[in-house]
Chains A and B, each alone.
Chain A
Amino acid sequence: MSNKMHVKLTVNGEEVEGLAEPRTLLIHFLRENLKITGPHIGCETSHCGACTVDLNGKSVKSCTVFVAQANGSDITTVEGLVNADGSLGVIQEMFREHHGLQCGFCTPGMITRAHRLLQENPNPTEEEVRFGMAGNLCRCTGYQNIVKAILASAAQLNAVKEAAE
């Protein structure tokens, strides 16, 4: 299995490249080759969402994508959602504010998914949030405060947008 291929990605705004076996999963490439350990592994069967990243403007479960398939794409992980000055981004801050996490293991996937959800639907109802987040499992919080955090993020992001307009 030494046939390695060359891959090139943009991750959190930075161009990166490396060698990988064709069968290498994106999550393993991110975590092990690039040491981007925000996205986690909870199942490797696309059920839990802990590995969620943003790939070319879509939420994907990076345990179910070969890095070869992602070649050339633009990827954002939870690490890329902090503000330029290093402070927490709005969704990250709202998760903290509303106690939307406990062990933190699902959190990077949750926040990355919430980020995309709020791009797709900037004014979601509680129902829409619950449905839109159903690909991400959490074992600690019972989701109630996650939903609260996402609704609060939507309000805040919209307020910022309005102020800018």
Chain B
Amino acid sequence: MKDEVQSPEDRSAKLKGMGCSRKRVEDVRFTQGRGNYVDDIKLDGMLVGDFVRSPYAHARVASINAEAALAIPGVLAVITAKDLEPLGLHWMPTLAGDKQMVLADGKVLFQGQEVAFVVAKDRYAAADGVAAVEVDYEELPVVTDPFKAMEPDAPVLREDLAGKTEGAHGPRRHHNHIFTWEVGDKDATEKVLAEADVVADEMVYYHRTHPMPLETCGAVASMDKVTGKLTLWGTFQAPHAVRTVASLISGIAEHNIRVISPDIGGGFGNKVGVYPGYICAIVASIVTGKPVKWVESRMDNLMSTAFARDYWMHGKISATKEGKITGLWCHTTADHGGFDACADPTKFPAGFMNICTGSYDIPVAFLSVDGVYTNKAPGGVAYRCSFRVTEAAYFIERMIEVLAIKLGMDAAELRRINFIRKDQFPYQSALGWEYDSGDYHTAWDKALKAVDYDGLRAEQAQRIEDFKAGKTRKLLGIGLTHFTEIVGAGPVKNCDILGLGMFDSCEIRIHPTGSAIARLGTISQGQGHATTFAQIIASEIGIPADDITLEEGDTDTAPYGLGTYGSRSTPVAGAATAMAARKIRAKAQMIAAYLLEVHDDDVEFEVDRFVVKGAPERFKTMKEIAFASYNQAIPGVEPGLEAVSYYDPPNMTYPFGAYICVMEIDVDTGEHKVRTFYALDDCGTRINPMIIEGQVHGGATEGYAIAMGQEIAYDDMGNHKTATLMDFFVPTAWETPHYTTDHTVTPSPHHPIGAKGVGESPNVGSVPAFSNAVHDAFRAFGLVQSHMPHDQWRIWRIAENLGLHS
């Protein structure tokens, strides 16, 4: 055969394996409008459900009258908590060990809360029905500030928890208190702080925001009364977990539930949780015997599902006069809204906030987090984030800047002298993590050089002179960040969600003609899994990526896994993929040896074949081996060529990066312009550079939005002020900066292919880079800390408060 005489390099290139910027296989469908998203599903007789939502942030629900709604043609049912109660479904468990009302049970705790579910023949009739349901509310006092919520006489939000002094994560000390989580050595840290040369003390607020994928959440439930089987399509980032949870709370046997995640229009953490809409669609389908679709509107989405952040982080960081950091202390007040519906591994009620020592070698540290109820929407999801890593990275990267101000030091140099050194890995952090690998100094120097850091500082100094001399009204900010992430949750020994261990899985079947299908427990929401996971298999077993079909998201066919979020797909399912491929390769080796009539140890793998050692002209290609595996009786070897792997990672992975933002700021208008955004990422082994770059562009743009204007804001009455895209800032192509990407490669030592995951790094790293740029522009004029988002008005106000307008 012709290709058998090709060099190994040529054959390798044909595989389109790891390291190649393979074009995405998904795009052929998507670019011609042939995706299949949940709202595209249309089944015979399908009904539509929609919610009556509370206009109040805190109120008693005195009565619900559905008579007028039911009189509207096309409205078939109005479901309330009373209807769900006999089924035990008026409340549901949250991922955080709390419970949440599916439909208002006597009261509402946030504006936009689900009160009744109207089922109708189409969306218009459903909307008519929603408008016609009459609800009597009695308003109650509202609290939206987590500090006020913890005052002794604050309104009681969760009456259902009255008298409960023990929560899911330990003792509760106040009626609006959820948990306190403490990590590290409190006494040692306080002692170091008390005796330090220098201590910087600051409150750093990471405001409430929202993942806002372009597609909202939705589901279609179809209960087949004949077979007793429930099929549930939906925007699920973790379809298997949804199946298990649905089974546990509904009592339907797990084998009678099939959960399918079709194409998902972006997730970013918004689609991890279980929402009342899913439950109501299921119940409505059971009641009506028809398929029922529920898809959120954008306003529903921004008001009720999955806010992110809202962390008030009070920090103290101590150092020697020379700038060597000696200790870190942090107390966080976490606003969780009306129900604790955070999506964190069970043992981590504040996620991995204890990565807040960042990239620095800090000998002692202490972290405590108080979770608090307020009259806001529940959520606290990991928005493009591995469980509060974004908050942690923002906190430490702000504290470093504040410390640099206190020390009168250059912030780049302060970072450099405190980085964990390459020879310290694996590194045990003061707050309990074992960092797998890193080379921070190399990345940092490369980044500073790439942007000509010294030149920038000189330009900035000149600009300040010119500003003071009245020659310009524009300031220059240089925003630095060196972040360390912790992703790939995670080892089953300490990571589970609702008791489900956070391993992941892959099953590979090689067909007789040498092509293959692989199925995973994860689900792509735009990350391009069908493209990249095939590349891993291609490199591992020598089948061209183009000959491999990849499937995810159907619980009837895919192996069990915990889904896609927290940058865990590559670290966990990617590892499972490599391990399953290696099982296949091991069997292929036996078959090849048999066919070549040599001992197993006498053949070795080379790109796409096994060759006899020392006799490269004698070989069997994977194609030949695949055929033989099905069609030839081989003594001692079962027919077929397939394998499944469930991978329980031995550790997390720790991607890192150096981001630098250069920003021009107009002192008089508060406008900004990003001149340069340089992003260096080290995500270990790079599977598909094109996709990595795309992830960086996208994540950095989300970070840009968060830092520069996006927020979920409430007034004191608990009215949601940013529930449409008019008020909730999402940058367009016009505002979005241009990004320069770069990389270093420090493979993970414990991951089978050395990959660490990248999807979330750019959100984690870019927010502090943008925010630090704003702060840095005003550093020379005395600014120490100003909370995000840095929209035009807030920047103007910084200048105003510093007296720069007079």
Contacts and interface: CB of A to CB of B under 8 A. Distances in A.
Contacts of A32: 42, 122
B46 to A, nearest CB: 10
Interface string B28-68: 11111111010110100000000000000000000000000
Given A48-B725, A78-B32, A41 B39 contact: yes
Interface in A40-85: 40-45, 47-48, 50, 77-79, 81-82
B694 A111 contact: no
A99 B39 CA distance: 24
Interface string B656-694: 000000000000000000000000000000000011011
Interface in A100-151: 101-108, 111, 129-131, 133-147
A141 to B, nearest CB: 5
A140 B733 contact: no
Nearest to B728: A47
A1 B124 contact: yes
Interface in A7-32: 21, 23-24, 28, 31-32
Interface in B241-271: 263-266, 268
Secondary structure call for the B interface: loop
A144 B32 contact: no
A35 interface: yes
Contact of A104 (B26, B128, B297): B26
Secondary structure call for the A interface: loop
A14 to B, nearest CB: 15
Contacts of B27: 95-96, 101, 104
B171 interface: no
A19 B734 CA distance: 40
Interface residues of A, number: 61
B100 to A, nearest CB: 26
Interface in B505-562: 525-528
B702 to A, nearest CB: 7
B82 interface: no
Interface stretch (B148-156, B180-188, B212-220, B275-283): B212-220
Most buried by B among A28, A50, A101, A144: A144
Contacts of A146: 733
A137 B23 contact: no
Contacts of A103: 213-215, 263-266, 525-526
A139 B698 contact: yes
A143 B739 CA distance: 10
Contacts of B42: 32, 35
Contact of B694 (A23, A81, A107, A145): A145
Given A43-B725, A137-B725, A96 B23 contact: yes
A83 B622 CA distance: 37
Interface in B132-190: none
B726 interface: yes
A32 B31 CA distance: 20
A88 B23 CA distance: 14
A48 B42 CA distance: 24
9 contacts: A38-B33, A45-B298, A104-B35, A104-B526, A105-B215, A130-B733, A134-B733, A137-B730, A142-B699
Interface of A: 1-2, 21, 23-24, 28, 31-32, 35-45, 47-48, 50, 77-79, 81-82, 88, 92-93, 95-97, 99, 101-108, 111, 129-131, 133-147
* 9 interchain residue pairs of minimum CB distance: A38-B33, A105-B265, A103-B526, A104-B30, A142-B697, A102-B526, A142-B701, A47-B725, A92-B31
